[in-house]
Amino acid sequence: MSDQYPPQNPDGHQPQGQQPSGQPGQQPSGQPGQQPYGQPGQQPYGQPGQQPYGEPGQQPYAQQPYAQPGQQPYAQQPYQPQQHVPVGPDGVPPLWAPWYGIGFLDAFKRFFAKYARFDGRASRSEFWYWILANAIVTIVLFGGFYAVLIGSLVSSTRVDAYGNPSGDAAPSPIAFVFLGLYGIWWLGTLVPNIALGWRRVHDANLAGPFWLIGIFVNVAAIVFGVLESNPAGARFDRPDLG
């Protein structure tokens, strides 16, 4: 007798209900109606119709920007120092303190109110409004001197029939009035001009003697005038002087 597997019936037929592995008619792993993994009809991970992580339409968490458009990230925001300036009941800072956002007329009056004060600070508006006021007065007085001087000389000169100039060539006394007023103005504002520049460099947290450079170098005076305020310049304030 020969060994056969699986055993056969004497008539040569296979046992009922048993099908050998791999024989025709045997279904692969998985019963009929069951779709094997990855076969048509089953959608595998990442195939069309399923949106994988990070695909268009879905923004992964790691790709989210820190700040939205129009918003500046915290690390890129410039530091804005805060100026703490006391004000009186009328909203005006005391003389020892700088006045940020001062107007033209107030800057003109404050310039003379702090005539020879080298302590404290002066804001950019205090400085440049006074420069504007000083320029206007200088043009009126010094320019008036030249205008009257030239006008009087021209009007007093006559030309005769032979083309020779004649007449009184003496300048008008009014011209010297303008010149005298300009001299008084220049002398009267010399000290407070230095004091204002001194306080201006204090506001940028620089020592006052730096302004001496600006007296002799006009470009340096302009640079000092446009420097931003530095809160550390409060070390030059003297509240005890009022």
Single out the residue of 137, 114, 139 nearest to residue 200, CA to CA.
114
- Whole-number pLDDT of residue 48: 53
- Split at pLDDT 50, 70, 90, the class of 170 is confident
- Split at pLDDT 50, 70, 90, the class of 159 is low
Per-residue pLDDT tens digits for 18-76 = 444 444 545 544 555 555 555 555 555 555 555 555 555 555 544 445 555 555 554 44
First to last CA, the chain: 130
- Mean pLDDT for 187-192 is 97
Per-residue pLDDT tens digits for 118-128 = 999 999 999 99
- Whole-number pLDDT of residue 5: 45
Per-residue tokens: 94: 């005391």
- Split at pLDDT 50, 70, 90, the class of 129 is very high
DSSP 219-235: HHHHHHHHPPP-GGGGG
* Euclidean distance between CA atoms 193 and 210, whole angstroms: 14
Please give the mean pLDDT across all residues of the chain: 77
Can you name the residues that pair with 15 across neighbouring β-strands?
none
Does residue 207 or residue 46 have the better pLDDT?
207
Q: Is the pLDDT of residue 10 over 60?
A: no
Single out the residue of 198, 216, 221 nearest to residue 117, CA to CA.
198
Q: Is the pLDDT of residue 136 over 90?
A: yes
Residue 144 per-residue DSSP state: H
Per-residue tokens: 7: 């055993």
Q: Is the pLDDT of residue 78 over 50?
A: no
* Euclidean distance between CA atoms 179 and 144, whole angstroms: 8
Q: Is the pLDDT of residue 141 over 90?
A: yes
* Euclidean distance between CA atoms 31 and 19, whole angstroms: 14
* Euclidean distance between CA atoms 21 and 3, whole angstroms: 18
Residue 96 per-residue DSSP state: T
ω into 6 cis (within 30 of 0): yes
Sign of CA dihedral 230, 214, 95, 182: negative
Among 71-75, 77-81, 215-219, top mean pLDDT goes to 215-219
Q: Is the pLDDT of residue 86 over 90?
A: no
Query: Cβ distance 137 to 185 under 8 Å?
Result: yes
Q: Is the pLDDT of residue 216 over 70?
A: yes
- Mean pLDDT for 190-201 is 98
* 95: helix, strand or coil: coil
